[in-house]
A and B are shown apart, each in its own frame.
Chain A
């Protein structure tokens, strides 16, 4: 539409991700490296799934709308499964790399814990996924026109931006839960992550009923956020401590340098 819409949608889509990057990742070079590697792994999974999609579209019958819709569903499911497979592959790679880093480094402790790696890799997946979801939409939002001349809904840009924000945060939560489940060999949790990813992706088939796709997505986001909080070591007691500002006593008691 104009520059106002462009910046508004960019901030909505990437606001939380930028904030997270600025405050938690930007200062630590190791975290930046693993973030970018995670983004790359997501990119490779997208490349493979798009190759399969491309070939299958060329083979298919372009005239039949039902076949194209079926092909789209197949493409989405395949892409989700490939993304999760690459998440698992990245986990395996990081485990190996951590051992290697430990033997190489002169310190006794690991430079980066697997929990931090989970968070960083999830965020990396989220960044790249968000970029591919929304950047071409943002580019067209900078022009003078808005969606609607063929009868589509006017709120296309806004709902795409909100969906992208949800997806980025979801990828981060999924990363945390996934890695934690792999560490503890809880395969049902891994399955739950995959199923919730599939669910969110399939909810987008409700578009252009944006309410029907966005509201359940945000519900799932909240639930996954709570689960990730618990997986990362949070608890209700810690939360209460923080909120009532009793943490200072705890700090003094443990003599931890900040």
Chain B
């Protein structure tokens, strides 16, 4: 038997098989990608929620806040809450607990939520339907005294001013964001999907005249299981445990970067006190929050302040480049201020510990721009700290600063005034500077005593609240260019601030002073970009190409987020500040991206930062003309010192962390009654037992039953 021809023929057939296999596989792949519709059983049972925003768990040194679901999701029978009295159905009378309560935004109040919280054994979850327009009476889920324990007003500083004893800054605050809930809470938009959910309720669950609804009932399941528990110290300890090859992180600290720029370049390798340097810090905050995760429109609480400061920095560009005033102006945009002043506490810590090219002794004064959105009024309020002003030298400087501000406001329609009675500072980054040293400074706000912002740190603090109204039928490009009333008002504020900063920095040329004017076109473009749509042509011109794809067709989200993730506003402000205060330099892209002027330059990267931005396309072509911008803009880390020092129970620094989670989703479906399920199980068991018995009987009698027609010598039965 020769093996060779066998092998040869086998090889040939294998080659043919390979070819035909390849052909079949290619055919299958081609057909696969033409799209297959999946008609599975799951689609008959579940309807998945497309757009759902959860409330997540945040932890600090002592508490955990936010919501938690069980690991396999919480299932509850839907109930649309009609009024607060209807809560009795959910909490006591309803026959099919637990319930998944659907609230309209008018019922999302403290009393309803506290009742739901106490009855949480019968509550599987809460869904809040966000309205399309802001509620008229105001809503603020933040506390009445924001950042109560992390500012400067404590028992040791001045007990009479601590804990908002003099003025409750946020009187409308109901503190809902800072409560702990045992059930998941999601937010849905008021659109067709939500209508379908409510329709499911009305079809199956709705009760008429007190009779109980009949099965099957409409139910919802929400998944938002949070990994971290108790407080920051516990979850940071659990982060470090190595149970397996992949240690699982359960929480991350909140933080991001502060954006800093200066009128005179600072050498960032030369840290610590700088002799002879006297700096005026112009500060604003960058972040905001709301009850739900990753929604933080922050129009008045954040955007009004930093947009004004950006416009002021741009207005001061020419004045500080031609003839530099004596003092340097440091523009500081702090991130994480909502969560116990993460950014400003970090900067003060760095300054105190020689981690920054300046020292707190170098700081001459602080001008902070708080919430300055004006809704028709023409007065701004200048807040100061009464305790530090008891020192006569500090008081003198503060009064000089206020005079500068007032003189800058001459010939403009706005006026600045101090509050009539002795009042502590509102929540502001300046408080952290005061904790370290008594520095003269002011905080500019639009309110005399309590906030006028009715939607402080809520999802309603948006462009609509700032009165950014555009005429109808404008294209996005036209809307970008249209100067709203809000923009006009903020331009005036920016002009006042810029002129005051120029005078405060020692500038004395009156012609220069008169020429300092903020550009209303720029202000309205910035407001549009941050509060309406960040993917617009103006922003596109000023960012590098790899960031341009991250610009979105919706408002910027100002939530600070965890340290590892760069938040969009920080980067946008960085690029804007670079373009608005920097200069264009004619160097190659390679040099620009390597932070040097030419091949031999090793020094510039310590002083300046270079950015290769996309630029605009000239009118006759579609190719963008990119260029290099040189500026003094830096990002400085905004992570609370508590995490570097590993003091997770610190009372001095922010200890906020955000829990991690695996999946966040929700779905609705019908549930059958318990009786029907047990009946099915009973029938199944009965069928099984009956068939077992029958088979046993038949197989034992098989000889007899199947005996006819068989040969006697046949097989083994």
Contact = CB atoms under 8 A, between A and B. Distances in A.
Given A136-B40, A140-B41, A156-B44, A8 B682 contact: yes
Interface stretch (B475-483, B535-543, B703-711): B703-711
A137 interface: yes
Contacts of B670: 145-149, 154
A232 interface: yes
B216 A8 contact: no
Contacts of A194: none
Contacts of B40: 136, 140
A256 B671 CA distance: 57
Given A4-B677, A18-B688, A113 B216 contact: no
Given A23-B699, A110-B715, A239-B705, A7 B694 contact: no
B715 A116 contact: yes
B692 interface: yes
Given A23-B699, A239-B705, A55 B668 contact: no
A241 to B, nearest CB: 6
Interface string B676-690: 011111111101101
A18 B685 CA distance: 13
A8 B683 contact: yes
A5 interface: yes
Q: In terms of DSSP, what is the predominant structure of the interface of chain A?
A: helix
A33 to B, nearest CB: 16
Could you say which interface size class chain A belongs to?
A: 35 or more
A97 to B, nearest CB: 15
A7 B688 CA distance: 11
Interface string A129-148: 00000001100100111111
A161 B683 CA distance: 11
Nearest to B44: A147
Interface string B155-192: 00000000000000000000000000000000000000
Interface in B213-235: 216, 218-219, 221
A185 B486 CA distance: 95
B42 A140 contact: yes
A22 to B, nearest CB: 7
Given A11-B685, A16-B687, A146 B672 contact: yes
A4 B471 CA distance: 61
B34 A58 contact: yes
A64 to B, nearest CB: 14
B21 to A, nearest CB: 14
A33 B528 CA distance: 74
Contacts of A16: 687, 691, 695
Nearest to B45: A145
Interface string A2-46: 101101111110011011101110000000000000000000000
Contact of A238 (B34, B672, B705): B705
Contacts of B703: 251, 256, 258
B75 interface: yes
A96 interface: no
B701 interface: yes
Given A16-B691, A16-B695, A148-B670, A5 B46 contact: no
A10 B684 CA distance: 7
B678 to A, nearest CB: 6
Contacts of B219: 144-145
Contacts of A149: 44-47, 200, 218, 668-670
Interface string B11-45: 00000000000000000000100100100111011
Contacts of A54: 31
Given A18-B688, A148-B670, A9 B680 contact: yes
A11 B686 CA distance: 9
Nearest to A54: B31
Contacts, number: 164
B470 interface: no
A12 B679 CA distance: 12
A247 B701 contact: yes
A4 B681 contact: yes
B713 interface: yes
B674 to A, nearest CB: 8
Interface string B651-681: 0000000000000000111111000011111
A256 B714 CA distance: 13
Nearest to A58: B31
A100 interface: no
Contact of A150 (B44, B671, B695, B708): B44
A2 B677 contact: yes
B547 interface: no
B714 A1 contact: no
A1 B670 CA distance: 9
B41 A15 contact: no
Given A2-B677, A112-B715, A234-B705, A23 B683 contact: no
Contact of B704 (A115, A156, A238): A238
A147 B669 CA distance: 8
A158 B678 CA distance: 12
A24 B694 CA distance: 12
A16 B691 CA distance: 5
A129 B195 CA distance: 42
B696 interface: yes
A61 interface: no
A15 B671 contact: no
A61 to B, nearest CB: 13
Given A11-B688, A109-B713, A149-B218, A233 B708 contact: yes
A235 interface: yes
Given A19-B694, A149-B669, A232 B706 contact: yes
Given A8-B685, A12-B683, A157-B680, A136 B695 contact: no
Interface in B40-88: 40-42, 44-47, 75
B389 to A, nearest CB: 63
A258 B703 CA distance: 9
A154 B215 CA distance: 10
Which among B31, B685, B691 has the highest number of chain A CB atoms within 10 Å?
A: B691
Contacts of B688: 11, 15, 18-19
Contact of A233 (B34, B218, B710): B710
Given A18-B688, A145-B46, A1 B672 contact: yes
Q: Which 8 A-B pairs have the closest CB atoms?
A: A145-B669, A11-B684, A8-B684, A8-B680, A15-B688, A8-B681, A113-B715, A16-B691
Given A4-B678, A144-B671, A242-B704, 12 more contacts: A8-B682, A11-B687, A18-B688, A23-B692, A111-B716, A113-B717, A115-B706, A150-B44, A158-B680, A234-B705, A238-B705, A241-B704
25 contacts: A1-B672, A8-B682, A11-B687, A12-B680, A12-B684, A15-B688, A15-B691, A16-B687, A20-B691, A23-B692, A24-B695, A54-B31, A109-B714, A109-B715, A112-B715, A113-B717, A116-B715, A147-B670, A148-B216, A158-B680, A235-B708, A238-B707, A241-B704, A242-B705, A251-B704
